[in-house]
Each structure stands twice: as structure tokens, then as C-alpha cells.
Structure 1
Amino acid sequence: MNPSYEQAQPWSISQWLNTVAPISLESLRGKVTVLHAFQMLCPGCVSHCIPQAKLIHTAFPSDKVQVIGLHSVFEHHEAMTPVALQAFVHEYRLGFPIGIDQADPADPIPLTMRAYRLQGTPSLILIDKAGYIRLHHFGQIDDLRVGAVIGQLLTE
């Protein structure tokens, strides 16, 4: 492995949606992991990130590529509760696992967001089969570019 790639950090998740058991990064070794960080009140997330995550989830085989939603709330904490997120997930028909980033009582930035040095939402992180970060992108990113990188990672 190229030493310039950073090892992905474990996630700090307070609650999981759309999965019967918690998901660890270690349990996804051997798969390409697509981590989409979003907030349900983020316009770019709703218009681009969520549709892109749904598209990736349906376009690639689940035994090869795992989409994980990361709901990272760093603003409007009172409005974005787990109950509101559950309604959002239902209304947008999101079928992939979604973890609620663990809040830090002393800091408005949640723990996983801080560990991954996310600048905001939407953010996309592609993690290769060995657990290394291969793409770290803040903002919208073209579907074709993401698909090409996922395809490359699948061949490695």
C-alpha cells in the first residue's frame, strides 16, 4: 500500500439506522466503503449528496461496495434529532445504513466529523478495501468521477 494514504479512523456513532447491528470500519474490510457525510437541513446534501448515495447504493453490488451515511450535525442541533432523522430517512427512502455522528458536549463538532477533519457537509470519503482513505472531498462531486474512482478501487 502506498504510505501516502491515510488509514481511515474508527467511527463514533451514537445510533444506527437501517441496520440491525452496529457497523464497524473493520467489518467492511474487503469492500470499498463510500462514506457520505450529510445533514438533513443542508440544501447541497438534499439536492446532490443523498441522490448520489442512493445511486451508488443501487449501482454497485452490496458484497463489493458499502454505502454508509454519516449524519454529522454541527449546527441547528435542536432541529436535527434522531426522531427527525428517522422521518427524513423514511421520506427519502434511504435504504443504506446511516450512523448518527456522536456529539461532543464540549464542542459543536461531532467526533467522527472531527476525526476525519470534515470541513462541512456534504462530504464524501472513499475508503479502499484495506481501510485507507483514497478520496476525501468537501462539497458536490460529479457522479461519473465518483463512479470511476469506485471502479478503480474495485480492481485493486
Structure 2
Amino acid sequence: MVAPDLLVSHWIDETGRPRTPLTLNDLGSRHRILFFYQHWCPGCHSHGFPTLLELIEHAAPLDVGFAVVQTVFEGFDVNTADQLRLDQQRYELHVPFGHDPISPDGQYPKTMVNYRTGGTPWFVAIDPEGTVIENGFSVDVNKLLSIFRKRS
């Protein structure tokens, strides 16, 4: 599957400041990792963020682009845009965070629909050609790092 455009309008940059909508191209022409979560999701905090941190730590020398998107399909009063900066600081993540809520007419967040996600936490890995190479609740960190090393 070719990676769809990111159609998320609300973003903060790596320092927590509002930024223009992020595109996949903004993450560079290398491998890219998207992490989808919800602030109130226990699995996102017990499994998702630790996996993301491990990926970031080991992929830093390989010039991999990262972005985090809160895909809000429930818990609307808790999974707010205000939580982005709190989660960014909690995990000391210096990557852009986006907020993609359910639409006013009740449609799932665009990111969830476009990437065919099944909930949160969810990881998407995209190769330099723009093809989705991993798409699921979890990823094999060592496998991804091996792929990244072959292409760097």
C-alpha cells in the first residue's frame, strides 16, 4: 500500500509549539515511522510509547523520520489536543505530535481510515519510496532496524 497523505490539521512541533500541518515529506525522504495513540489508552503507555522510544533511540543514527498522532475515536473529553504536549513531555519526545479527532458527523479520524488502523497503539513504517512496510498494533523493533540499516 502506498502511504496516504497525512490529513491532520492540528500539530505541535518537537518543542510543543503549534505548527503548520505536517506532511510525510516533512519527515524526509528516508524511512518514516508513524505512531498512533490515545492519551487514555493503557496499552499505548505500557507498550506503544516504550516501543517508540526504543525505535527512536536505535534509529537515530539511521536518519529515520518520526511523528506521533493521537487518533481520537472515543474518550473525547480525555483525549484532547491539550494532552499532546503532556505526552510529548512525559516521554521526552522531540518529534511532532498531531491530533486527529472523530469528525463532527461521527466519521472515524482520517488517519485511522486512510491507514486502515484497528485502534491504538498502532505503528506504521514507511519506506523511502512511500510504501507502507509495517502496519499494526506492534512492530518487531529488531526487524525494522535491520531494514533501516540495509537502506542507509
**TM > 0.5:** yes
Gaps of 5+ in 2: none
- State which of 13, 29, 50 in structure 2 corresponds to 1:18: 13
- Report 1:51-130 matches (<5 A): 51-61=50-60, 64-130=63-129
TM-score normalised by structure 2 residue count: 0.84
Alignment-mate amino acid for residue 89 of structure 1: Q
Structure 1 residue 132 displacement after superposition = 0.9
Residue 7 of structure 1 aligns to a residue whose secondary structure is: coil
Measured against aligned partners, the alpha-carbon deviations of 1:62-112 in whole angstroms (never above 9, x if no partner) come to: 772011111111110111111123222222222211111253111251111
Is the contact made by 2:71 and 2:112 (CA closer than 8 Å) also made in structure 1? yes
The answer to whether the 8 Å contact 1:71/1:101 transfers is yes
Residue by residue over 1:131-150, the C-alpha shift from the partner in whole angstroms, topping out at 9 and shown as x without a partner, is 1111111x233432332343
Measured in 2, the distance between the counterparts of 1:57 and 1:85 equals 18
Q: Kindly provide the amino acid, as one letter, of the partner of residue 68 in structure 2.
A: G
What residue number does 2:41 align with? 42
RMSD over aligned Cα atoms: 2.1
Distance 1:131 1:60, change over 3 A: same
The change in CA–CA distance for 1:46 and 1:16 in structure 2 (over 3 A counts) is same
Q: Counterpart in 2 of 1:3?
A: none
The answer to whether structure 1 residue 151 and structure 2 residue 146 are counterparts is no
- Secondary structure in structure 1 of the residue aligned to 2:139: coil
Q: Distance in 2 between matches of 1:151 and 1:37?
A: 24
Percent of residue pairs bearing the same amino acid type: 26
Q: Which runs of 5+ in 1 are unaligned?
A: 1-5
Deviation at 1:21, TM superposition (A): 4.5
CA distance in 1, matches of 2:27, 2:46: 28
Distance 1:127 1:144 in 2: 16
In structure 2, the CA distance between the partners of 1:149 and 1:124, relative to structure 1 (3 Å rule), is farther
Larger mean CA deviation between 87-96 and 111-120 belongs to: 87-96
Alignment of 1:27-38 (within 5 A): 27-38=26-37
